[in-house]
Amino acid sequence: MTLRVHLPARARVTVSSLSWFLLAGGLAGVLVYTWSVSESWVYQETQRAQLPEAAPPVLAANRVAAILPRKWFPPDPLVLGRLEVPRLGLSAIIRDGVDAPTLRKAVGHVPTTPLPGEWGNSVVAGHRDTFFRGLREIARGDRIRVVRRNGVAEYIVDGLAITGPESIEVMQASADKRITLITCYPFGYVGSAPRRFVVTARSIASTDNGDGH
C-alpha cells in the first residue's frame, strides 16, 4: 500500500525554497573551504621557493612560479623560514605573528619570543587540523629543522606536555637555544579544543651565513 501525503501549494513552495537555500549554503561552504585550502597551498609553495635547501615540495612551487606572474607571489617579508619534522613528513612555512590570517596559511612565530635559531626559547604555534596535524605522532628524540634564509637550526625533541590554554610556562625564557611548538588538543576534538599540546626541543646544531634571518 502506498501512502501519499498531499501538501498545500504554499507548503510545497516553502519546502522547495528551503531545499534550494540549503543547497546554496552547502555550495557556498564548499567554495569557501576550497578557496581557503587553495590560498594556503599557493602561499606555502611559493614561499618555499624563496628559501635555500629546497625540499621536494619546492618543485611544485617552481611550477607555480613559472605559471603565475611574479607580482602574485612576492617574497613575504614576514616569512622567517621553513619548519620541518623529517620523520613525520611535516613541513610548513613559519610566518612572524599569530593572527588569524597568518595561522590560516602558515605556522606563526610568537613575536615576543626569540626568532628560531637565536638564543632563548622560540615559540611557534599552528592549527591542529592543518599544518600541525602531524604532531599527534611526534615523539621524544625526533629531529626538528628550521631552514632560514641565512642558515639552518636543528633541534631534538626532549619534552611533550598537555596544558591548559592559559598556561604561560611554555613561553618562559631560556638560557640556551630552544624551540617550542604549540597546537590545540585533543587533535580530533570538534570545535574549539579546550587544551594545548606542547612540544619542546633543544638545539643540537646551527649554521649561519650572515645574510639576515
Active-site positions read: 127, 184
Bridge partner residues of 200 (DSSP): 159, 180
Helix (H) or strand (E) holding 84: strand 79-85
Task: Report the C-alpha gap between 48 and 61 in whole angstroms.
Answer: 7
Task: Report the C-alpha gap between 47 and 44 in whole angstroms.
Answer: 5
Q: Residue 82, class by beta-carbon neighbours within 10 Å (0-12 exposed, 13-18 middle, 19+ buried)?
A: buried
Q: Residue 213, class by beta-carbon neighbours within 10 Å (0-12 exposed, 13-18 middle, 19+ buried)?
A: middle
Cell of 181: 611548538
Cell of 138: 611526534
